[in-house]
Amino acid sequence: MLSLLWLIPTLPLAGFLLLVLGGNHLGHRSIAMIGTGSVALSALVAILIGIDFITAPPPGFVFRQEAWTWIAVAGFSPGIVFYLDALSLVMVVVVTVISFLIHLYSTEFMSGDEGYARFFAYMNLFVGSMCILVLADNLLFLYLGWEGVGLCSYLLIGFWYRDPANGRAARKAFIVTRVGDTAMAIGFFLLFTHLGTLDIQPLMQRATQQWPVGSELAILAAALLLGGAAGKSAQLPLQTWLPDAMAGPTPVSALMHAATMVTAGVYLIARTHALFVLAPAVQFAVAAVGALTLLLAGFSALAQNDIKRVLAYSTISQLGYMFLALGVGAWSAAIFHLVTHAFFKALLFLSAGVVIMSLHEEHDIFRMGALRKKLPLTFWAFLIGSASLAALPLVTAGFYSKDLILWQAWSSRGGNPWLWAAGWGGAILTGLYIFRVVFLVFFGEARTVAPPEIRRPGLRITIPLIVLAAFSVVGGWIETPSFLGNLTLFSDFIQHALPPTQVVHDSKNDEIVLELLAIAASLGSVALAYLLFLRYPAFLHGLMLVPALASVRKLWHFGWGFDSFYEFLFVRPYLWLAHADQRDVIDDLYRMSFSCTLRCLQKINRHDLIDNLYSGLAGLCLFFHRTLSATQSGQVRRYAAAIAAGSIGIIFVGVFAWSSLH
């Protein structure tokens, strides 16, 4: 089965090509079969390969499959090579299985949309690009998948492009993530320049052999890769794009947050972990960025009214937990939380999509209420996802993964009490903001008139909700703390690709105390949410009448002012340059200078031959300036035509000169 590895990314990409080439001539049923079927086959192949990999592991728990040489220039020859180990296997199974469930959900959710074929074409390209990213054997091939998911995020966030707000959100996501991508690309250049390869495994080996711990090159390279990871995974200071990315259809949000895009940064750091080990300062920065991000995003989630924006800030916060784990060297804990987060975050987004669809595109949680009896399946699905996100003890997958991060943030060599305290505070915020949504949407009284006929989900929506709900409950049972049996199936498997956590505080008493504190945080936050948002909402309303508290809430609502700061620092100056019609400004400057020159020359002597020569030269310059300015029309088609004509002319002259010489 391992020889079929190439099929995992190829099948979704083949579905993409079929939909692009023939989607306009196919019915919805055929489009759904191609789009969903290709991803389903990819998931099936991934599962079968995973079974084969576990039952009959290849030598060294590594399998490489080389398709062909991509580029061969001056000794630089990166290939189309797939690399399968424990880390990439976990990632590719999660990506394909979750993507299949979201595709199945989408066949019903998007029915009737005029862009049905286009939607599934983009979704398949998204999945295929993510599979390339996680299976790539070299950084250049990884970068192809990396930019592929970036392109697809732009296309899918702005899918309903007739609304200008959606287009702005898509452009914002694309531009902000390009900042991180630029840093990462520079890091790749640095690594290749100094280590002579982009093949990931030889690259990490050479870095370990040639660079001492704390070397400047290692720190610089790791910092640049961190920039790319922070951009894709929406961590400080590049987190501003993700809340606005909710402009796309709800299945897009589920796919982006659970299985693709935002997990890419976590995967990149885990895959290049050897480089971060060589740069302890940068690795600590990863933990610090994660800790700060999870707190800021948690507070912002508390102040949102849009149900999808609450979940968006929740994703930023949970990714912060993963960065925190990576930063303290808890590599397996970070990937374990990535897996459980994929289950419950996909469940939450898909459940929210049902609520939005049933209420005719209503997003405001304060205009909902009393939906648990009208949408019972959706209520239970959202409740299970919320419980897992809040890490309710014993019965949810999120409890096992999040508490493992908290324990290792305390006990590992890279951890400290401050990082643990940030994670523990984030756990309180998590339960508070997600059960705020549960109580406002599904309990209490209806705060708006519901449509007479609530649109109930069909089988293609129901099946993914049930499957994801089951995963959100049992998905954590493969890794349990010591007082619950100390089952370590996941970490034992993933340690074939990632080093084990270096624990320095392994006291059983400390672990039990910290587990009890984590349980108190999750249960206490749910109880507090019940009191504030369901039992005594008037008390909270009274608090918001205090001007200082209202200002704080406003600050949280607008993401701590990062957007306003970037607007002032970058966007407005750029827009001024773009909209001030710089061509006219420059024209005016040239006209003024040439006019002054002419007037000066004319005043000296109108009939002097030398003066006339200078006057003619100035006039000629003015003529050429006006002629060339006219070519700056801003019309890309004219530019392209001019470039093409110039290229043809150059080729013609070159051929003529060559034939004349020979």
For 472-525, write each residue's pLDDT tens digit: 999 999 999 888 888 999 999 999 999 999 888 777 788 889 999 999 999 999
User: For residue 260, what is the DSSP state?
Assistant: S
Distance of CA 329 to the CA centre of its chain: 22
CA–CA distance, 116 with 33 (Å, rounded to integer):
12
Task: Compare 140 and 603 and report the one with higher pLDDT.
Answer: 140
Q: Is the pTM of this model over 0.85?
A: yes
* 632: helix, strand or coil: coil
For the residues 30-36, what does the mean pLDDT come to? 96
The yes-or-no verdict on residue 594 having pLDDT over 70 is: no
Q: Which residues pair with 299 in a beta bridge?
A: none
Neighbours of 581 (CB within 10 A): 10
Q: Which residue has the tokens 């959900």?
A: 105
For the residues 206-232, what does the mean pLDDT come to? 96
Predicted confidence at residue 572, as pLDDT, reads 85
The yes-or-no verdict on residue 604 having pLDDT over 80 is: no
Amino acid at 202: P
CA–CA distance, 558 with 570 (Å, rounded to integer):
18
Alpha helices in 303-416 (DSSP H): 307-327, 331-358, 376-389, 397-411
Q: Label residues 584-616 b or e (16+ Cβ within 10 Å = b).
A: eeeeeeeeeebeebeeebeeeeeeeeebeeebe
For the residues 231-259, what does the mean pLDDT come to? 93
HSE, side-chain direction, 13 A CA sphere, residue 475: 32
By percentage, how much of the chain surpasses pLDDT 90? 72
Confidence of residue 463 (pLDDT cuts 50, 70, 90): very high
Confidence of residue 545 (pLDDT cuts 50, 70, 90): confident
Q: What dihedral angle (degrees, nearest 10) is formed by the CA atoms of 469, 471, 474, 475? A: -140
Tell me if 99 sits within 8 A of 43, measured CB to CB: yes
Token digits of residue 85? 């180990």
Predicted confidence at residue 591, as pLDDT, reads 61
Q: Which residues pair with 83 in a beta bridge?
A: 64
Predicted confidence at residue 581, as pLDDT, reads 54
| Tens digit of each residue's pLDDT (9 = 90 or more) over 411-451 | 999 999 999 999 999 999 999 999 999 999 999 887 765 66
| Tens digit of each residue's pLDDT (9 = 90 or more) over 339-357 | 999 999 999 999 999 999 9
CA–CA distance, 127 with 8 (Å, rounded to integer):
10
Residue 337 gets the label, from left (phi > 0), alpha (psi -120 to 50) or beta, of alpha
Q: What is the DSSP string of 206-239?
A: HHHHHS-TT-HHHHHHHHHHHHHHHHHTT-TTS-
- Please tell me the least confidently modeled range out of 285-299, 375-389, 595-609: 595-609
CA–CA distance, 519 with 516 (Å, rounded to integer):
5
Predicted confidence at residue 316, as pLDDT, reads 97
CA–CA distance, 511 with 507 (Å, rounded to integer):
6
Tell me if 139 sits within 8 A of 196, measured CB to CB: no
Amino acid at 571: V
CA–CA distance, 643 with 193 (Å, rounded to integer):
33
By percentage, how much of the chain surpasses pLDDT 70? 90
Mean pLDDT across the chain: 89
Confidence of residue 78 (pLDDT cuts 50, 70, 90): confident
Tell me if 563 sits within 8 A of 576, measured CB to CB: no
Confidence of residue 662 (pLDDT cuts 50, 70, 90): low
CA–CA distance, 166 with 174 (Å, rounded to integer):
12
- The contacts of residue 537 (CB under 8 Å, 6+ apart) are none
C-alpha pair distances (Å), 637 with each of 124, 632, 640, 642: 31, 12, 5, 9
Predicted confidence at residue 113, as pLDDT, reads 87
| Tens digit of each residue's pLDDT (9 = 90 or more) over 611-652 | 666 666 777 777 777 777 766 766 776 777 777 777 777 776
The yes-or-no verdict on residue 585 having pLDDT over 90 is: no
Whether cis (ω within 30° of 0) applies to the bond prior to 237 is yes
For the residues 236-253, what does the mean pLDDT come to? 93
Neighbours of 434 (CB within 10 A): 27
C-alpha pair distances (Å), 80 with each of 9, 100, 135, 139, 433: 12, 25, 10, 11, 44
Residue 270 gets the label, from left (phi > 0), alpha (psi -120 to 50) or beta, of alpha
| Tens digit of each residue's pLDDT (9 = 90 or more) over 124-135 | 999 999 999 999
Write 360-367 long-range contacts (CB < 8 A, 24+).
360/451, 362/448, 363/305, 363/306, 363/307, 363/308, 364/305, 364/306, 364/307, 365/305, 365/306, 365/307, 365/310, 365/436, 365/437, 365/440, 365/441, 366/305, 366/440, 366/447, 367/447, 367/448
- Please tell me the least confidently modeled range out of 81-85, 416-420, 456-460: 456-460
Q: What is the DSSP string of 18-84?
A: HHHHHGGGS-HHHHHHHHHHHHHHHHHHHHHHHHHHHHSPPGGG-EEEEEEE---BTTB--EEEEEE
CA–CA distance, 316 with 298 (Å, rounded to integer):
8
The yes-or-no verdict on residue 609 having pLDDT over 60 is: no
Predicted confidence at residue 345, as pLDDT, reads 96
C-alpha pair distances (Å), 196 with each of 78, 189, 192, 206, 312: 12, 10, 5, 9, 40
CA–CA distance, 620 with 513 (Å, rounded to integer):
85
Q: Label residues 632-661 b or e (16+ Cβ within 10 Å = b).
A: eeeeeeeeeeeeeeeeeeeeeeeeeeeeee
Q: What is the DSSP string of 464-506?
A: HHHHHHHHHHHTTTTB--GGGT--BHHHHHHTTTSPPP-BS--
Longest C-alpha distance within the chain, in Å?
105
- The contacts of residue 105 (CB under 8 Å, 6+ apart) are 251, 254, 350, 353, 460, 461, 464, 465
Predicted confidence at residue 307, as pLDDT, reads 95
Q: Label residues 17-55 b or e (16+ Cβ within 10 Å = b).
A: ebbeeebeebeeebbbbbbbebbbbbbbbbeebbebbee
For the residues 363-380, what does the mean pLDDT come to? 92
